[in-house]
């Protein structure tokens, strides 16, 4: 093989190797989504990736505020059993849209989820199957609220609600009327501050809303 052919072979090998690596690389661990629109999936993926990458800090903040060892359940919702990048989290997020899904197989589930959402408000943590619902009240606010045209604000709210509802799925402390100081509400506020002060601290696109309560109707 002459020098020119050798050079072409090496270059081809390198290019092929890069392409194979790009397609073979495992996806970053994140929660699964179902019936979410692409822009909602993008927000949820961005949030879950940041949470799984910085889980130790968020876990420490939660445990300090709650004076409680939260063990591994919450971590596995975002990271999977083997940690960052090894497996996707075992949590699933279902976006309950205003209108029924086009897939007729999902229509019955949508009716049931809409009924749950009418009582729950912004979201609901299903305690038996690691699944949470994001309800129309929340999704509409993220879509149409003036403050939430900014991704940093919107994602701070997604983070707060995801952790709130996954908390229910792990600790099963549902109440019919969550007071301001319920454990899940505290978790929600800790997560908001984590997103504002750790994830987006001093960033050009910093969070500009002040507290988690502004995320919800």
Residue 181 inside a domain? The answer is yes
Residue 21 inside a domain? The answer is no
Rounded to whole angstroms, how far apart are CA atoms 185 and 165?
10
Domain of residue 89 covers 27-215
Q: Collect all residues with Cβ–Cβ distance below 8 Å to 45 and sequence separation of at least 6.
A: 30, 33
Cβ neighbours around 105 below 10 Å, total: 7
106: DSSP letter: G
182, two tokens: 């319920």
Mean pLDDT over the full length of the chain: 82
| pLDDT over 80 at 138, yes or no | yes
Residue 12 inside a domain? The answer is no
194 or 1: which leads in pLDDT: 194
Arithmetic mean of pLDDT, 153-160: 98
pTM: 0.82
141 or 102: which leads in pLDDT: 141
Predicted confidence band of residue 179 (pLDDT cuts 50, 70, 90)? low
Cβ neighbours around 79 below 10 Å, total: 26
Residue 17 inside a domain? The answer is no
How many structural domains are present in the chain?
1
Residue 141 inside a domain? The answer is yes
Q: Can you give the CATH number for the domain in which 185 is found?
A: 3.40.390
Residue 167 inside a domain? The answer is yes
| pLDDT over 70 at 11, yes or no | no
Residue 56 inside a domain? The answer is yes
CB hemisphere CA count around 143 (13 angstroms) = 16
pLDDT, tens digit (0-9, with 9 covering 90-100), for 95-136: 999 999 888 888 889 999 999 999 999 999 977 679 999 999
Residue 63 inside a domain? The answer is yes
């Amino acid at each position: 093989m002459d020098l020119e052919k050798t050079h072409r072979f090496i270059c081809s090998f390198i290019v092929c190797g890069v392409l194979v690596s790009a397609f073979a690389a495992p996806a970053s661990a994140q929660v699964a989504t179902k019936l979410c629109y692409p822009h909602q999936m993008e927000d949820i993926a961005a949030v879950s990736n940041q949470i799984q990458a910085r889980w130790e800090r968020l876990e420490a903040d939660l445990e300090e505020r709650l004076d409680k060892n939260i063990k591994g359940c919450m971590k596995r919702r975002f990271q999977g059993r083997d940690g960052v990048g090894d497996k996707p989290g075992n949590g699933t997020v279902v976006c309950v849209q205003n209108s029924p899904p086009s897939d007729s197989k999902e229509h019955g589930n949508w009716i049931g989820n809409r009924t749950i959402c009418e009582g729950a408000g912004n979201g609901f943590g299903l305690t038996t199957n690691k699944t949470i619902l994001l309800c129309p009240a929340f999704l509409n606010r993220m879509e149409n609220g003036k403050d939430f045209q900014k991704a940093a604000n919107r994602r701070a709210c997604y983070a707060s609600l995801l952790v709130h509802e996954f908390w229910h799925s792990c600790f099963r402390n549902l109440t019919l009327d969550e007071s301001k100081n319920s454990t899940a509400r505290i978790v929600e506020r800790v997560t908001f501050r984590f997103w504002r002060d750790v994830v987006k601290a001093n960033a050009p696109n910093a969070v500009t809303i002040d507290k988690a309560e502004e995320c919800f109707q």
